[in-house]
Amino acid sequence: MSRKNYKMIDGKLLRTDKQFRHLKQSQKEKINEWLYQEYRNLWLEQNRQPSSNRNRDILAAVMGKISEADIWIPEHEVLKYLQGKKNRYRKRMEKELLKNEMDEDMTENQLPVETIRGAVAGDQDAVQKVIDHYSDYIDDLCTIKEAQENGAIKKIIDKDMRQAVILKLIESLPEFKL
C-alpha cells in the first residue's frame, strides 16, 4: 500500500481509502445494528418504510455514534453499506411487526383466567363464555359441504356435529389442568 492512502487526522494516522470490509467484525456488527435501529425508528415514526431520501438522516445519526465509538470509516462507505442492507432491514422490520401483531392477537383473543377457572369448576356462566369464545372455531369444524338439487355445493353447519363437539368440550373442561 502506498503512503498516499494515509493521512494524519487529529494526531492519528488514518487510511483515507478505508472500506467497510476493512473494519473489525465487532465494528461492522455495531454499525449494522446502529443503522437498523435508526431505520426502525424512522419506520415507526412514519408508520411506513423509510424512503431513500431519508438515508442521509439515518447516516447522520449513525456517523455520530461511529465517531463516539472512535471508529474511522468514510461516510460514503457507510452510506454504500446502508443502501446494500435496506432490503434486509425491511424484511427484518416486517417480521418484527408481524410478530407484534400476532402477539397482540393472541393476547386479545384469550379468555380471562377467572373464566377458565370458573368453567373448570362447573360455573354454568363461565362454561357458556367458553362455548361462546370458541363458537366460530366450532362452526368451522362442523361445516360440511352439501350438494344441492341444481348441482351447486353449499356449505352448512351440521347441527348434530356441532352439539356433539360442544358436549365434548363441556365434558373435558373439568379435566383441564390450570
Q: At 3, is the pLDDT very low, low, confident or very high (cuts 50, 70, 90)? A: low
Strand partners, 15: 6
Residue 45 phi/psi, 5-degree rounding, is: -65, -40
Query: What are the Cα distances from residue 106, in Å, to 90, 98, 100, 103, 144?
Result: 24, 12, 10, 5, 28
86 Cβ contact partners less than 8 Å away, ≥ 6 residues apart? 39, 55
Residue 13 has pLDDT above 70, yes or no: no
Mean pLDDT, all residues of the chain: 89
CB-based burial of residue 12 (10 Å sphere; 0-12 exposed, 13-18 middle, 19+ buried)? exposed
| 124 has pLDDT over 70 | yes
Q: Which pLDDT value is given to residue 1?
A: 46
Q: Judge whether residue 2 has pLDDT over 60.
A: no
Residue 89 scores a pLDDT above 80:
yes
The predicted-structure confidence for 147-172, as pLDDT tens digits, reads as follows: 889 989 999 999 999 999 999 999 99
pTM over 0.85: no
**Which residues does residue 156 pair with via DSSP β-bridges, in sequence order?**
144
